[in-house]
Structure 1
Amino acid sequence: MWRQAEEDSYMDIDTWNEARIKPINIEGQRVWFGIDVGKSSDLYAISWLIPQDGYWYADSYAFVGTKYGLQNKIKADRLDYIRLQDMGQCEITKLESGVIDVERVYQWLDGFVKDHNLDVQAICYDPAQYGTLLTQIEKGHPEWEQISVRQGTLTLSMPTKQFRDDVLDKRVRHSGNEILTGAMANAILKSDNNGVRIDKNRYSNKIDAADALLDAYAICFRENIDDYVTDEDVFSDDFGF
């Protein structure tokens, strides 16, 4: 489905596809969310990472704006958002303006955490246009730590390179989410004097879900996943220090 022609592509798509696994049971797990804000023509992407024994499990969800028409967006982005909405991978805005409803984004995130009894470690966000959701989370969930991730190579270079290595080594695995897979296929690598970060080579190549995931990874990637212990392990009769 996905083709890469650019020499500066960030992720080898065969390597990414080889890291795909069946969706795991995320009930009661620790989670780091990454958020990349979109309003009308972009996607409002929420991606997340959940630590497992020896690897990170990645998944994503997106809110789709329709300001310039849904069919035009489907054609430009080369993603069938109607089908993906039916699959539970995204939600198309219901506002007549076509703008993404940030209150609905918060409602979804709140419900997702509650439905799965998730232990939120951090909300890691690109600060551009994030203020509205930040305020809603502060009011509704002051216990969720919100971490602004500076968007530049100085901050993102090391985790960007480490993430790609971890996908290759199967230390990052994913559900096969099509929007996230498309973002990985679209991403190219840009460099400056401070290092590298991902970018896109044209406006219609959406990488929002990948940006969101790397925001989360930039905060959590130093966590120890080789001696990962769950709460269930701690409270079991066999556990001991």
Structure 2
Amino acid sequence: MSHAQVLLDRVLDYAEDIVAGKITACKKHKWSAKRFLRDFENLENEEGKYYFDIDELENFHEWAKLFKHTKGVLTGQPIELVDFQLFIGANLFCFKRKANGRRRFNKAYIQLARKNAKTQFLAIISTYVAFLSEEQDECYIAGWSREQSSICYEEVLSQIRACDLLRNKFSDSYGKVKHYKTGSVIQPLSREARKTGDGKNPSLGVVDEYHAHETREIYDVLVSGTVARANALMVIITTAGFDLATPCFEEYEYLSKVLDPDNDAENDEYFAIICELDPEDDIKDEENWIKANPIVASYEEGIESLRQELKIALDMPNKMRAFLTKNMNRWVDQKDNAYMDMGKWRKCAGIMPELSGLKVYCGFDLSATMDLTSVGFDIPIDRVHHVFGHSFLPEERLREKMAIEKQPYDIWRDRGFVTATPGEVVNYHMVEEYILRKLDELNPSDVEICHDRWNAAHLAQSLMNRGLTVVEIPQIPKHLALPTKNFLESVFDKRVVHDDNPVVNWAVGNAVTHEDHQGNMMLSKKVSKNKIDPIAAIINAHARAMHDENNIDLNAYLTSSEFSF
């Protein structure tokens, strides 16, 4: 039996053992293994698009062996890919297109707990593409910060400098590695150097620790450059994070659907493997740890390090968030001072019932005339709040805001979630027209317009002149603490239904709270990094809607500390 066939058998056995439960793995890891086995079996179909290049598997394995471990208990020893790593390599490099011999997968998402040799593996992938290419390839390693980008790049340097075979075959000056024979380069990039990313044509783009990327900016620059390459590969590799409003979590959710055999989402060119604790797993059960740590939990020193990390997290609760995300690879929505648990918020998304003929509470939050302005509605039915919103932005400022905030305002505009008003300032007359048009559609039994006084005097007066009840909501903790708290509790109790508006979702994820010296909580625009106007408008509406006679539980209210004579 050839060495290549031995390696293939290792990969197949590994995938089968994962699926059969002989190797403990999480649900999504099993889905990835099932996908591989299904795809490999489908290769026998003569009408299929792909074939498996077994020689490529051997090449990748032998390339890794040229290098030595630079950290940990194996420092100085040659790298021997474990079955888990070989499985990933087989997927990335060995499935090829019959039509042209190019790789099947042009994107990959790999999510692992920390210390599972992610950086080492990325370095091997980078040099494999750059040094063995027949073209002049460009390989970029992108972190959100310069420091993060440098971690993998330094691992590349450590590996190739210690490799006798590569001596005098590359240079490592001016912040990049250059292979003499092909002219291929490996270079780190970060958001500080994002402008230099434009115009590059990556053969390989590596996005490291994507959970730390606040926007898709770097990723999009690299992806847009790959169109000039016939055989490009984009690799995201990351641990989980604690901000569910990041692009990484959006990617994680999408690929969870792609892997799920019971979901209709398909992407035949996107490889994904996610190693995490399942939701029902006990973090104290050491047998579960391998689900998130396929390498670390395979040897005693690794297990002991996890024991120590868990002990610290149990003794110091403020460390538990880091343990869950970094060591157990679970997404945890626990931003510092974050207002909303985004997992709870997403569960409240649903289809709105018939809302006409009911009392409507409309709130608005008017920005500076050149910024985002939002309107929010709260319509209570049997103690359930049905909320939705709409936002406005000056057309002439839209591109500028997209560049600064890195949000798809143009797409939101085209999908009807944002109105771009002509000129360089928000047209408040159009805001008023929208409110009146929406009220006309709802044909409410009664209306209350709830507003922040700032910048709103003219609009409030105009609406009052039309016979509408207009109520000022003072933007101080004394008045906003209760509705802010009540709205949060309503979400947790699933007594909120929203229409999954992406602008509102973004604002809810941005919202950060501030407490005064008496513990009164309200949303803080000063502390929040990004816009919160859409949720602020809804909270203004909720400040009145929470007291609606069709919404309040009178007995509970009379016996609560909130009731007084």
Category of TM-score, reference length = shorter chain: 0.7 to 0.9
The separation in 2 between residues aligned to 1:28 and 1:86, in whole angstroms, is 30
125-134 or 39-48, larger mean C-alpha shift: 39-48
Which residues of 2 match residues 67-78 of structure 1 at below 5 A?
69-78=397-406
Which stretches in structure 2 are left out of the alignment for 5+ residues?
1-243, 247-332, 554-565
TM-score when normalising by structure 1: 0.84
Task: Give yes or no for the alignment of 1:211 onto 2:539.
Answer: no
Alpha-carbon offset, residue 227 of structure 1 = 8.5
Q: CA deviation at 1:201?
A: 5.6
Q: What is the CA–CA distance in structure 2 between the aligned matches of 1:103 and 1:112, rounded to whole Å?
A: 14
The residue that corresponds to 2:389 in the other structure is 60
State whether residues 510 and 529 of structure 2, in contact with CA within 8 Å, keep that contact through their aligned partners in structure 1. Answer: no
Q: Mapping of 1:130-141 within 5 angstroms? A: 130-139=456-465, 141=466
Name the % identity: 23
Larger radius of gyration: 2
Task: Tell me if 1:115 matches 2:441.
Answer: yes
1:220 aligned partner = 545
1:44 paired residue number:
373
Q: SS of the residue aligned with 1:74?
A: helix
Instruction: Name the structure 1 match of 2:474.
Output: 150
Q: 1:201 to 1:125 in 2, by over 3 A?
A: closer
Deviating more after overlay: 72-81 vs 25-34? 72-81
**Matched residues in 2 for 1:120 and 1:73: separation?**
37
TM-score by length of structure 2 reads: 0.37
Match of 2:149 in 1: none
Question: Any idea what SS the aligned residue of 1:83 has?
Answer: helix
Instruction: For residue 125 of structure 1, report the CA deviation from its aligned partner.
Output: 0.2
Amino acid at match of 1:125: H
Does structure 2 conserve the Cα–Cα contact (< 8 Å) formed by 1:81 and 1:92?
no
1:105-153 Cα offsets, whole Å, 9 max, x none, are 11111111112323342100000010120122123x22x1100011111
User: RMSD of the alignment, in Å?
Assistant: 2.2
Query: Tell me, what secondary structure is at the counterpart of 1:213?
Result: helix
2:407 corresponds to? 79
1:153–1:197: 8 Å Cα contact kept in structure 2? Answer: yes
**CA pair 151-227 structure 1, distance change in 2 beyond 3 A:** closer
Using the TM superposition, give the Cα deviation of residue 89 of structure 1 relative to its aligned residue in structure 2, in angstroms: 1.5
**CA separation in 2, counterparts of 1:62 and 1:75?**
18
For the structure 1 residues 116 and 220, does the alpha-carbon distance in structure 2 shift closer, same or farther, using more than 3 Å as the test? Answer: closer
- Deviations for 1:196-221, whole angstroms, at most 9, x for unmatched residues? 10114667600001111111111221
| Residue 38 to residue 181, structure 1, CA distance change in 2 (3 Å) | same
Answering whether residue 330 of structure 2 is matched by residue 2 of structure 1, we say: no
Residues 204/190 of structure 1: CA separation in 2 closer, same or farther (3 Å cut):
closer
Question: Partner amino acid for 1:179?
Answer: V
| Residue pair 1:76, 1:204 contacting (<8 A) in 2 also | no
Alpha-carbon separation, structure 1, partners of 2:399 and 2:439: 31
How big is the shift at 1:225? 4.2
Which position in structure 2 is the counterpart of 1:161? 485
Aligned residues: 223
- 1:89 maps to 417
Look up the SS of the partner of 2:349 in the other structure. Answer: coil
Q: Distance in 1 between matches of 2:524 and 2:347?
A: 23
Partner Cα distance (2:501, 2:450) in 1: 20
More strand by share: 1
**Cα separation, partners in 2 of 1:19 and 1:38, compared to 1, 3 Å:** same
CA contact 2:510–2:528 (8 Å) conserved in 1: no
CA distance in structure 2 between the partners assigned to 1:24 and 1:74 by the alignment: 34
Report the secondary structure of 1:219's partner residue. Answer: helix
Distance 1:134 1:40 in 2: 16
Where does residue 176 of structure 1 map in the other structure?
500
Q: Select 2:509's aligned residue among 167, 170, 185.
A: 185
2: CA distance, partners of 1:227 / 1:215: 17
- Summarize the Cα distance change of 1:203–1:162 in structure 2 as closer, same or farther, 3 Å threshold: closer
2:452 and 2:540 in contact (8 A); partners too = yes
Q: After TM superposition, give the deviation of residue 19 of structure 1 in Å.
A: 0.8
Q: Which residue of 1 aligns with 2:119?
A: none
Residues 18 and 203 (structure 1 numbering): CA distance in 2 closer, same or farther, change over 3 Å?
closer
| CA distance 1:110–1:24, change in 2 (3 Å) | same
